[in-house]
Chain A
Amino acid sequence: MDTDQKLAPLRKGLLEFLVLRIVSGSSVYVADILRRLAGTEFATQEGTLYPLLSKLRREGLVDYRWQESDAGPPRKYYALTDAGRAQLAELDRYWAQINKTIAELGN
C-alpha cells in the first residue's frame, strides 16, 4: 500500500504522456482510450479523462472531429496535432533518457 501510494504521483504525471501515445496511433474515441488504459496500472475513468483531453486540446496538442456513429449520437474522435506530435517525440526521447539513467545508476 505504501509503495503504491508513493508511486501515485509518478503515474499521475505519466498519464498525459500515455494518453498522447494512445492518441498518436490512430484517431480514437474516449471509450477506446479508456479500454487501452483499463487493466494497466493507469486505469482511468471518464471523470479524469475528459478534463485531461480538454486541457490537451487547449494546449493545442490534440484535436477532435465529430464522426457519426452507427448507434447513438456523433462521437468525438481525437487525434494528435503537429504540436502534439512534436511534444510526444520530445517526451519519448526524455523517457528513453530517464530509463537509461535509471539503468546506469542501478549498476
Chain B
Amino acid sequence: MRQVITVSLNGRAYALEDDAHAALGAYLAEASRALAANPDKDEIVADLEQAIADKCDRCLSAHKTVVSRAEIEAIIGEMGPVDGAAPSPAGAAASSAGAAPAGEAPRAEPASPPPAGAGPAPRRLYQISEGALVSGVCNGLAAYFNLDVTIVRLAFVVLTFLTGGVTVLVYLVLMFVVPYASTSEEHAAARGVPFNARVLVEQAKQKAAQFTNSADWKADRSAWTREWRRTRAEVRRAVREAKAEWRAHRWGAAPPGAPPGPPPSPAPYAAHVLSGLLLAILGLVLAAFTIAWVVALLSLAFTGSILGWWLPHGVSFWIAIVVLIVIYQLVAWPLKAARRAVYGARGVYHAPAVAAWDGIVTLAVLLALGWYAYGHVAGFHDLVEHVRAAFENFADSV
C-alpha cells in the first residue's frame, strides 16, 4: 500500500505517490531556484506546472487516478532541465545564448551561480545503523574514509587481537560518543557528499549531456539508468527516514493525543558529541552506583553490616534497608532525570532504547567487575573455580 499526496499543479489537483511527489518537488524546487533571477519566474513556473499537468493527464484515466513514480520520472525526463540563465532585459544579443537545446554543455557554461553557502561538502563521522552489525561504528568509519565496510570490520577484528582488546574499548567509546546519522543531510555528511535537489539535478544534467553527446550512448544510457536508480533509492530512503524521525519524535516526546509538532531540528554535531559523552558518563555512574547499592544491600542482608560498616546501636535492620532505598532514589533520580534531559536534547527519546542501553551498560560493568574480582580477589576466584568444577562433574555424570 502506497501513500498518496495530492498536489496542485497550476490550479488543478493531482494525486501522486509519495516518492513521485518527492521527485517532482525536487524538480520544481530546482526550477524555481534556477529561475530566481528571472523577472518572469512565476509565469514560467506556472507554464512548467501546466506542462507537467498535461503530461500527467496522459497517464491518468477513469480507472487510474494516481501518478506513479516511474511516470513522474519519465515526465521530468521529458521536461528537461530548466534553463536558468537569467536573460538581461536590455541586451538581446548577449542573452540569446541563454537558451540551450536539451542537455547540452551544462558544464561548459555554469548556467547559475552556486547556491549560497555551497563549499566543499562537510564530512563528519557518524554511526550508520543501516546495514550495521553491532552499532554502526564500522559502517560510519567506512563511509567517512570511503572504504568498504568489510575492510574496516576486518581491521577492527585484527586490531582487537593485536592490541589485546583495547580496540573493543575504542569501539565502545565511539559507540557512545559518535552520533547517529538520522537525516538525509547527516547521511550525506557521513560520506562527505553534498545532498540537495540542486546537486541531484546538476548531476542529472551532466549525465544527460554525456548521454546525448556520447557515441557509445548505449553504455552511457545504462550507466545513467543505474545512477538514476541509485539516486532514486537515496531520495526514497531520505523520505522514509524523515518520516520515521517524525514518528519517533511524535510518539517519543509528545504525549499521545497532542497535536503533532514539527520534526525536531537536528542538534549541531558538537552538541551531539557532547551529549553522547554526557550520556555515557551518566550511564556509567548510574550503573556503578546501582551495583554498589545492590552489593551494600546484599552485604546488609547477609552480614548485618554495610560493606564492613556496622549499623549504629538502636538502628534496626529494616530501618537500614528503608534508608538504603531512600538513598538510592535520592541519588538515582537526578541522574535519570539528567539522562532523560540529554536524550531529549538529542531530539528523540526512546524509552525502550534507553532501558536497553542501561541494561547493556550495567551488564558490561558487572562483567568487568567480575573479571577483575576473578583475577584479584582470591575468594571470588575460588568460588568461580568451585562452580566450574561442580558444573564439569555434573556434565561428566550426564
Query: In whole Å, how far is B301's beta carbon from the nearest beta carbon of chain A?
Result: 79
Assembly CA distance A46 to B108 (angstroms): 21
Whether A45 contacts B78 in the complex (CB less than 8 A), given A1-B213, A1-B214, A52-B99, comes out as: yes
Inside 8 A of B102's CB, which chain A residues have their CB? 43-45, 47-48
Closest B residue to A16 by beta carbon equals B96
- Interchain CA distance A8-B160 in the complex, whole Å: 58
Q: Is the CB of A51 within 8 A of B214?
A: no
Chain A residues with CB under 8 Å of B87's CB are 51, 55, 58
Binary A-proximity of B320-352 (CB < 8 A = 1, otherwise 0): 000000000000000000000000000000000
Q: Quick check: which of B47-55, B132-140, B269-277, B310-318 contacts chain A, the rest being far away?
A: B47-55
- The docked-state distance in angstroms from the alpha carbon of A44 to that of B10 is 22
Contact with A along B39-58 (1 / 0, CB 8 A): 11001100110110010010
Find out whether the CB atom of A51 lies under 8 angstroms from the CB atom of B98: yes
How long is the Cα–Cα vector from A5 to B101 in the complex, in angstroms?
12
Indicate if the CB atoms of B101 and A43 lie closer than 8 Å: yes
Contact B48 A47 (CB under 8 A): yes
Q: Is the CB of B105 within 8 A of A47?
A: no
Q: What residues of chain A lie closer than 8 Å to B99, measured between beta carbons?
A: 12, 15-16, 19, 48-49, 51-52, 55
| Separation of A12 and B57 alpha carbons in the complex (Å) | 31
Interface string of B2-26 (1 = CB under 8 A from A): 0000000011100000000000000
Is A104 on the interface with B (CB-CB < 8 A)? Answer: no
Q: How far is the CA of A39 from the CA of B89 in the complex (A)?
A: 31
B95 A55 Cβ-Cβ under 8 A: yes
Task: Assess whether B79 is in contact with A72, with CB atoms less than 8 Å apart.
Answer: no
Asked if A106 is at the interface (CB within 8 A of a chain B CB), the reply is no
The answer to whether B80 and A48 touch across the interface, beta carbons within 8 angstroms, is yes
**CB-based nearest A residue for B57:** A72
Q: Is the CB of A51 within 8 A of B54?
A: no
Q: Contacts A5-B105, A15-B101, A58-B40; is A47 near B214 (CB within 8 Å)? A: no
Is the CB–CB distance between B80 and A47 below 8 Å? yes
Contact at B89–A58, with CB atoms within 8 Å? yes
A47-B48, A47-B81, A47-B82 known; A11 vs B104 contact (CB < 8 Å): yes
Residue of B nearest to A60 (CB): B92
Number of interface residues of B (CB under 8 A): 41
Contact B98 A76 (CB under 8 A): no
Question: Among residues 21 to 56 in chain A, which have CB atoms less than 8 Å away from a CB atom of chain B?
Answer: 30, 41-52, 54-55
Say whether, besides A1-B214, A72-B54, A50 and B48 are in contact (CB < 8 Å).
Answer: yes
Taking a contact as CB atoms under 8 Å apart, the answer to whether A52 and B83 are in contact is: yes
Say whether, besides A5-B213, A9-B105, A72-B54, A46 and B48 are in contact (CB < 8 Å): yes
Chain A contact-residue range equals 20 to 34
Specify the chain A residue showing the minimal Cβ separation from B31.
A47
Give the complex CA separation of A57 and B82 in angstroms: 18
Give Cα A8–Cα B102 distance, bound, in whole angstroms: 10
Please measure, in the bound complex, the distance between the C-alpha atom of A46 and the C-alpha atom of B54, giving whole angstroms.
12
| Interface residue B173 (Cβ < 8 Å from any Cβ of A) | no
Residues of A close to B258: CB separation below 8 A? none
Taking CB atoms and an 8 Å cut-off, the chain A residues in 47-98 that contact chain B are 47-52, 54-55, 57-59, 72-73, 76
Q: Judge whether B319 is part of the interface by a CB distance below 8 angstroms.
A: no
Q: Which residues of A contact B97 (CB under 8 A)?
A: 9, 12-13
Which of A8, A12, A54, A72 makes the CB contact (< 8 A) with B44?
A54
Q: Is the pair B104, A46 in contact by a Cβ cutoff of 8 Å?
A: no
Mark each residue of chain B from 98 to 120: 1 if its CB lies under 8 Å from any CB of chain A, else 0.
11111011001000000000000
**Does B215 have its Cβ within 8 Å of any Cβ on chain A?**
yes
Which residues 353-369 of B have a CB within 8 angstroms of A? none
> B40 — which chain A residues lie within 8 A by C-beta?
54-55, 57-58
A48 to B40, CA, bound (A): 14
A45 to B102, CA, bound (A): 6
Asked whether, in the complex, the Cβ of A42 is within 8 Å of the Cβ of B101, the reply is: yes
| Complex-state Cα separation, A4 to B57, whole angstroms | 35
Give the residues in chain B near A54, CB-CB below 8 Å: 38, 40, 43-44, 47
Write the B233-257 contact mask toward A (1 if CB under 8 angstroms, else 0): 0000000000000000000000000
**How close is A28's CB to chain B, nearest CB, in angstroms?**
14
Closest 7 CB pairs of A and B: A45-B80, A47-B80, A52-B99, A55-B87, A54-B40, A47-B82, A45-B102
Residues of A within 8 A of B (CB): 1, 4-5, 8-9, 11-13, 15-16, 19, 30, 41-52, 54-55, 57-59, 72-73, 76
Complex A-B: 9 CB contacts under 8 Å: A8-B100, A8-B101, A8-B105, A12-B104, A45-B78, A46-B48, A51-B44, A51-B85, A52-B98
